Amino acid sequence: MEFLLLDGKVKKVEECNVFQEIEKSPIYEVVRVIGGKEQFIEDHIQRMFDSFQLLDYENSYSQEDITNFARECIRINKIKDNNIKLLAVELNDMRKIFMVYAIESYYPPDSVYKEGIKTIIFKHTRDNPNAKVQHLDYKVAVTNAIKESNAYEALLLNEAGYILEGSRSNMFYLIGDTMYTAPSSMVLLGITRKHIIKSIKDLKLNLVEKELHVDDLNRLDGMFISGTSIGVLPVNSVDDLKINSAENKIIKNILNEYNKLTGKILG
């Protein structure tokens, strides 16, 4: 996109060299825009403020300010269907800045939801799971592992042998007629995850917060991941283990219910 917002001021992307001054790990949020409307932005900004508090980051802007920055970025770039990034960071010279800009976005085609995705296991433990902070070394390593395996996502395996979430997603799994997801205290509290939990409750399904041990993978009747760009995305394999999640009736119902909720949000 041609423009970004830097501390609330419109700048041309090609004239903004501030990215070269960023070395510290930023606090950020990615917000999906569909039909020119930002999705769940209040939830994203609240989570960002929660991250500020967790990390003792002194932020100069109100939630209303940041909402206005996001909407101005959407307006000035005439964004219809794309993701935008909200980013707060301290530069090398100790200045703190807040940026909003469009990022390259990929949305899976319908065929992927019908077939499911391939995932791999990747050993990693988040230092502060509830704070959304960008760590470049980890991002490069997990991206390379995904590409080498021709997979869509990596499921993070901690030192105790539990799989709690994906590298860029939350995770839900099904055993029998009960849906499970990792305890809220142990993962990044995804905005999409929050609304999927609401969809599961609206369907009056059983939902339990519980860790998934790697040895219990073969007990699964279904699994899906969730995220800003993907919504509810069924998993068809974890490494060499096949899981027919896309054809599971319960997962199909959750996908449809979440899509209905999103439609209401977007009007």
Say what the pLDDT of residue 265 is. Answer: 55
Q: Which fold has domain 110-266?
A: D-amino Acid Aminotransferase; Chain A, domain 2 (3.20.10)
**Quick one: pLDDT band at residue 229, thresholds 50, 70, 90?**
very high
Residue found by looking up tokens 């995305």 in the block: 233
Query: Residue 92: what pLDDT?
Result: 85
The predicted structure's pLDDT at residue 262: 77
pLDDT at 41: 96
Give 223's contacts (C-beta < 8 A, 6+ positions apart).
Answer: 171, 172, 173, 174, 234, 235, 238, 243, 245
Domain 3-103 - what CATH class? alpha beta
Q: Per-residue pLDDT for 126 more than 80? A: no
Please state which of the ranges 116-130, 147-161, 169-183, 210-224 shows the lowest mean pLDDT: 116-130
* Distance between CA atoms of residues 101 and 109, nearest Å: 24
Sign of the Cα pseudo-torsion (258, 200, 167, 53, in order)? positive
Query: Span 137-159, mean pLDDT?
Result: 93
Residue 59 backbone phi and psi in degrees, to 5: -105, 140
- Over residues 65-84, the mean pLDDT reads 97
> What is the pLDDT confidence band of residue 139, given thresholds at 50, 70 and 90?
confident
pLDDT digits (tens, 9 = 90+) for 158-207: 999 999 999 999 999 999 999 999 999 999 889 999 999 999 999 999 99
For the chain, where are the E strands, in sequence order? 3-6, 9-12, 27-34, 37-38, 82-90, 96-103, 117-123, 153-157, 162-166, 170-175, 178-181, 206-209, 212-213, 222-227, 231-238, 241-242
Reference 170, options 154, 190, 185; nearest CA is: 190
Per-residue pLDDT, averaged over 94-112, amounts to 94
> For residue range 27-55, what is the model confidence (pLDDT) as tens digits?
999 999 998 999 999 999 999 999 999 99
Structure confidence at residue 136 as a pLDDT band (50, 70, 90): low
Q: Compute the Cα dihedral for 211, 215, 217, 220 and give only its sign.
A: negative
pLDDT at 240 over 90: yes
Where in the chain are the domains? Answer: 3-103, 110-266
Q: How far apart are CA 230 and CA 184, in angstroms?
A: 20
> In the structure, what pLDDT confidence band is assigned to residue 261 with cuts at 50, 70 and 90?
confident
Residue 114 has pLDDT above 80, yes or no: yes
Residue 236 one-letter amino acid: N
Cα–Cα–Cα angle for 168, 43, 1, rounded to 5 degrees: 65
Give residue 48's pLDDT.
Answer: 96
pTM for the whole thing? 0.82
